[in-house]
Chains A and B, each alone.
Chain A
Amino acid sequence: GESVGLHLPTLSVQEGDNSIINCAYSNSASDYFIWYKQESGKGPQFIIDIRSNMDKRQGQRVTVLLNKTVKHLSLQIAATQPGDSAVYFCAENNNAGNMLTFGGGTRLMVKP
Chain B
Amino acid sequence: EPEVTQTPSHQVTQMGQEVILRCVPISNHLYFYWYRQILGQKVEFLVSFYNNEISEKSEIFDDQFSVERPDGSNFTLKIRSTKLEDSAMYFCATALAPGNEQFFGPGTRLTVL
Q: Which residues of A contact B (CB under 8 A)?
A: 32, 34, 36, 41-46, 49, 89, 91, 93, 96-105
CB distance from B35 to the nearest CB of A (A): 7
Query: Given A45, A89, A91, A99, which contacts B58 in the complex, CB threshold below 8 Å?
Result: A99
Which residues of A lie under 8 Å from residue B103 when comparing CB positions? 46
**Are the CB atoms of B55 and A43 closer together than 8 Å?**
no
A-B contact pairs, 23 of them (CB 8 A): A34-B101, A42-B107, A43-B105, A43-B106, A43-B107, A44-B91, A46-B103, A89-B43, A91-B43, A93-B99, A96-B55, A96-B56, A96-B99, A97-B99, A98-B48, A99-B33, A99-B48, A100-B33, A100-B45, A102-B42, A102-B43, A102-B44, A103-B42
**Are the CB atoms of B100 and A97 closer together than 8 Å?**
yes
**Are the CB atoms of A89 and B42 closer together than 8 Å?**
yes
Q: Which residues of B contact A (CB under 8 A)?
A: 4, 31, 33, 35, 41-45, 48, 55-56, 58, 91, 93, 95, 97-107
Instruction: Kindly list the 5 A-B residue pairs having the minimum CB-CB distance in the complex, ordered from nearest.
Output: A97-B98, A97-B99, A43-B104, A98-B56, A102-B43
Name the residue of chain A whose CB is nearest to the CB of B3. Answer: A43
Name the residue of chain B whose CB is nearest to the CB of A101. Answer: B45
Interchain CA distance A45-B106 in the complex, whole Å: 10
Name the residue of chain B whose CB is nearest to the CB of A104. Answer: B42
8 additional A-B residue pairs with CB within 8 Å, beyond A97-B100, A99-B56: A93-B99, A97-B31, A98-B98, A99-B45, A102-B43, A102-B44, A103-B42, A104-B42
CB distance from A44 to the nearest CB of B (A): 5
CB distance from B5 to the nearest CB of A (A): 11
**Are the CB atoms of A45 and B104 closer together than 8 Å?**
yes
Which residues of A lie under 8 Å from residue B95 when comparing CB positions? 97
CB distance from A79 to the nearest CB of B (A): 25
**Are the CB atoms of B99 and A32 closer together than 8 Å?**
yes
Interchain CA distance A97-B35 in the complex, whole Å: 15
Interchain CA distance A21-B3 in the complex, whole Å: 27
CB distance from A67 to the nearest CB of B (A): 22
Interchain CA distance A18-B94 in the complex, whole Å: 32
